Amino acid sequence: TEITLEEAQQQLASKPLLLDVREPQEFEVAHIPGARNIPRGMLEFAMTQDEGLADRQRAIVLYCKTSGRAALSAEALTKLGYLQVRSIAGGFDAWLAAGLPTDKPKPLSFE
């Protein structure tokens, strides 16, 4: 199920598991605050191996760059038995275009 940016913001207020399924290099440039990066290619493995991710009832919100990888990830998680999986329509590109907040890594400081 895809949700709009407005619906995503509402759901994020309740602290779901927010997953960025882009590649680590993409995540490091910028991401939605509070997101955890699990690339699409590692998703099923990570979700079944990490005990902290085992709750099939927990709300999950996914995103990628434009929503293709997130849609595939949502389908995979649903097949694994996760019951509350949503992906953000338009992905991170839509989030950026709407001027919504992002986190960016801070450069190292030697001072």
Is residue 35 annotated as a catalytic residue, yes or no? Answer: no
Task: Identify the active-site residue in 64, 74, 88, 94.
Answer: 64
Distance CA 55, CA 99 (A): 32
CA atoms within 13 A on the CB side of 6: 0
What type of residue is 9?
Q
Pair type for strands 36-37 and 59-63: unpaired
Distance CA 3, CA 24 (A): 24
Partners of residue 19 on adjacent β-strands: 36, 62
Residues marked active site are found at 64
